[in-house]
Amino acid sequence: MAHITFDSSKLQKFVHDNELGEMQAMVTAADSELRNGTGAGADYRDWLNWPNDYDKEEFDRIKKAAQKIQSDSQVFVVIGIGGSYLGAKMAVDFLNDTFYNYLPDSERKTPQVFFAGNSLSSSYVYDLIHLIGDRDFSVNIISKSGTTTEPSIAFRIFKDKLVEKYGEAEAKKRIYATTDANSGALHDEAKAEGYESFVVPDGIGGRYSVLSAVGLLPIAVSGASIDDLMQGAADAEAEYVSPDLTKNEAYQYAAYRNILYRKGYTTELLENYEPNMMMFSEWWKQLAGESEGKDQKGIYPSSANFTTDLHSLGQYIQEGLRNLMETVVKVDKPNHDVEVPKEPQDLDGLGYLEGKTMDYANTKAFEGVTLAHIDGGVPNMSVHIPDQTAYTLGYLIYFFEIGIAISGYLNGINPFNQPGVEAYKTNMFALLGKPGYEELGQKLNDRL
């Protein structure tokens, strides 16, 4: 029995009973493409069996490195962009108390984990350096090539701060590189300088890399159990192996979202009811958007954080353009619950909730919103997770990874490449004056 539950029961108004079964032949074909390597992008399927096939020796080194960082650092700076940071940030937020990073050093058992190199904002880097102050810190630079502009600039800056504080020899002991196993600028630098290094697997694209060293080191440093995380993913791998739509809920999710897409529901909102799951939506948006947005087609991934966004986006979702579908990730048991206090006078009108909990109110909000949106013409699916543990997160990650992969094949898309990403990089290199881009840079400047 699956550890998490996919609920499609609220789709009855939008999907006829026969439609899921009629997708079976296409799903079976997509499953064959994925598992037999006959589909496009077959070289990037190592994530499929990774929860069982991961490098156990490297995994142990990750745990030992995390222990060292926890012992000698009060701050851990993780430098990366896209898949090199979203998964780790998502997991650190998901698995820790909401304000963990804000607690004083005396009240935290592990370092603060902050992320850099995911923008070109000078103010952000300046403010992070100010926040670190005189405290001890270490750096994890994550880049397969080592030449991506945003993390490369950030790494230079924080490497300089390490050398300034500790000297060159000690600074090298506080730099951890996650990069290509055999080549690339960062690989060569790490080898030359003696940084402890971990591998970005060749057969796993960035958006699928959170369960590799890319995500595991920051997650382990934060104090979460990466053993439990991988076990959850391994159990999900075993659960979502059948192409039979009556047995595989991850494939049901893929099938239903494609049925709805073909009916004109071209935007999918991933929604949650826990503020520390906001970054989960950001991770999912890259997974879905970069996998499916190709050839002038694909479901547009967006997100909303409830109940907060009901006071800003709620009107549009309820009565705006009817191209929206919703997938809610609902936590059945929150990390903590708080009871509504009793008061002698019911001045705020909350007497009817006295003795009940905030999670009770949150769940009723989820139920009420679901029914209202269905009545307003928005198809609704939900994924129920029992808790916010590392095991559950590993399971949930794999659910969406395999669901999105199958969904891409169902729509005739290579779910593992991202050719469009290179267009802006080429222009940016040219405008920045990178050697080899001078002619293009002149043409672009003439257009500006």
Residue 5 scores a pLDDT above 90:
yes
Looking at residue 388, what DSSP letter applies? -
Which residue, 183, 181, 210, 184, is CA-closest to 82? 210
The partner residues of 114 in beta bridges, in order of sequence, read 77
Residues acting as catalytic residues: 290, 425
Contacts of 268 (CB under 8 A, 6+ apart): 257, 288, 299, 300, 301, 302, 324, 325, 326, 327
Residue located via tokens 């503020």: 275
Task: Express as a percent the part of the chain with pLDDT over 70.
Answer: 99
Measure the CA–CA gap between 298 and 296, rounded to whole angstroms: 7
343 Ramachandran zone, left/alpha/beta (phi>0; psi -120 to 50): beta
The partner residues of 75 in beta bridges, in order of sequence, read 112, 137
The partner residues of 139 in beta bridges, in order of sequence, read 77, 175
Measure the CA–CA gap between 414 and 420, rounded to whole angstroms: 13
Residue located via tokens 């549009």: 316
pLDDT, tens digit, for every residue of 164-223? 999 999 999 999 999 999 999 999 999 999 999 999 999 999 999 999 999 999 999 999
pLDDT, tens digit, for every residue of 246-296? 999 999 999 999 999 999 999 999 999 999 999 999 999 999 999 999 999
pLDDT, tens digit, for every residue of 322-360? 999 999 999 999 999 999 999 999 999 999 999 999 999
The pLDDT value given to residue 242 = 97
The 3-state DSSP composition of the chain as helix, strand, coil percent (nearest 5) reads: 55, 15, 35
* Half-sphere exposure at residue 276, Cβ-oriented, CA atoms within 13 angstroms: 19
| Residue 441 or residue 390, greater confidence | 390
The pLDDT of 427-446, averaged and rounded, is 78
Residue 106 scores a pLDDT above 90:
no
The pLDDT value given to residue 447 = 86
Given the DSSP bridges, would you call strands 5-7 and 380-385 parallel, antiparallel or unpaired?
A: antiparallel
Measure the CA–CA gap between 326 and 144, rounded to whole angstroms: 34
Q: Which residues of 32-51 are buried (b: 16+ CB within 10 A; e: fewer)?
A: ebbeeeebebeebbbbbebb
Least confident range of 104-108, 156-160, 212-216: 104-108
pLDDT, tens digit, for every residue of 14-49? 999 999 999 999 999 999 999 999 999 999 999 999
The pLDDT value given to residue 439 = 77
Peptide bond into 389 cis (omega under 30): no
The pLDDT of 45-74, averaged and rounded, is 97
Residue located via tokens 């290509």: 180
What structural domains does the chain harbor?
5-39+230-411 (3.40.50.10490), 48-224 (3.40.50.10490)
The pLDDT of 115-141, averaged and rounded, is 97
The pLDDT of 83-111, averaged and rounded, is 93
Measure the CA–CA gap between 429 and 431, rounded to whole angstroms: 6
The pLDDT of 432-448, averaged and rounded, is 79
pTM (2 d.p.): 0.95
Residue 421 scores a pLDDT above 70:
no
The partner residues of 79 in beta bridges, in order of sequence, read 116, 141
Contacts of 185 (CB under 8 A, 6+ apart): 145, 146, 147
Looking at residue 145, what DSSP letter applies? S
Residue located via tokens 């940016």: 428
